[in-house]
Amino acid sequence: MLEPISAGDLTTTKPSNPSQPSPLSSDFNAFLNMLTTQLKHQDPLNPVDSADYAMQLAAFSTVEQQVLLNQKMDVLQNNLHQNTLASLSNWMGKTVKLPGSFTFSGGEVTALITPPTGSEKTDFIVQDAAGAEIFRHRLGAQDQEFAWAGTTSKGAVAPFGHYNFAFEGFAKDQSLGISKLASLQTIEEISQPADDILVTLGNGQTLPWKNLTGLR
């Protein structure tokens, strides 16, 4: 059974390196050096006013808290990234539901068919990238999976490229309309080259994980 994929299944957090100083940390050090230099070279006959000194110390404390918070966030983000990579291993080899078009590169591609309520029979349809119908096959009215062998209605092998699955339901020989179908694909590889998590499917197609709507 396919289970919906939610945003909570994965956290697409880009890894950070806590060992590298952040811009905020550099600003903090510059502020500290400036304050120390000011106190060192103040005029002993006209020292810094106590109120001004208190304001600078308050600013110093605020910057210090910002730096500490930033460092904690770096550690938290790094931990989230590690947890995400660990959870991704559970996706390898699983079947996912891919709505919309898919890439055909040979072999069978399975469609997930849920006929509309009231339909007595269903036609499974394959359309090319331009929307032209290349394959049609009559099925029953029950929920089912259908494996398209990559051929046209005339038995020829379909050229590699982008296709869509669709179905047309009928009731008393009256069409109930044509609707798009999702294809079922297997996850072969998972990677995170930048800010997003990418999955490579068994047909060689690579896309963001958020494009998938079901997992089993």
pLDDT category at 10 given cuts 50, 70, 90 is very low
Residue ranges per structural domain of the chain: 3-91, 95-215
- Tokens 């600078």 -> residue: 56
Two structure tokens written together for 68: 């500490």
Partners of 185 in the β-ladder: 96
Residues 169-179, mean pLDDT to the nearest whole number: 90
Count of CB atoms situated within 10 Å of the CB of 106:
11
Is residue 210 within a helix (H) or strand (E), and if so which, with residue range? none
Q: What was the pLDDT predicted at 73?
A: 65
pLDDT at 15 over 50: no
DSSP characters over 35-91: HHHHHHT-BTTBPPPHHHHHHHHHHHHHHHHHHHHHHHHHHHHHHHHHHHHHHHGGG
State the pTM of this model.
0.58
Alpha carbon separation from 36 to 48, 65, 67, 78 (Å, rounded): 12, 19, 18, 34
Q: What was the pLDDT predicted at 16?
A: 47
Could you name the CATH architecture of 95-215? Sandwich (2.60)
> Cβ(123)–Cβ(65) under 8 Å?
no
Residue 160 is classified by DSSP as: S
Q: Which of 35-39, 69-73, 90-94 has the lowest mean pLDDT?
A: 69-73
Q: What was the pLDDT predicted at 130?
A: 94
Residues 65-70, mean pLDDT to the nearest whole number: 73
Q: How far apart are CA 149 and CA 137, in angstroms?
A: 12
- Tokens 């800010």 -> residue: 195
Q: What was the pLDDT predicted at 30?
A: 73
20-49 b/e with 16+ CB inside 10 Å = b?
eebeebeebeebeeebeeeeeeeeeeeeee
Residue-wise pLDDT for 132-160, tens only, equals 999 999 998 888 899 999 999 999 999 99
Q: What was the pLDDT predicted at 129?
A: 93
Residue-wise pLDDT for 75-130, tens only, equals 655 555 555 656 667 778 888 888 888 989 888 899 988 887 888 999 999 999 99
| % of the chain surpassing 90 pLDDT | 25
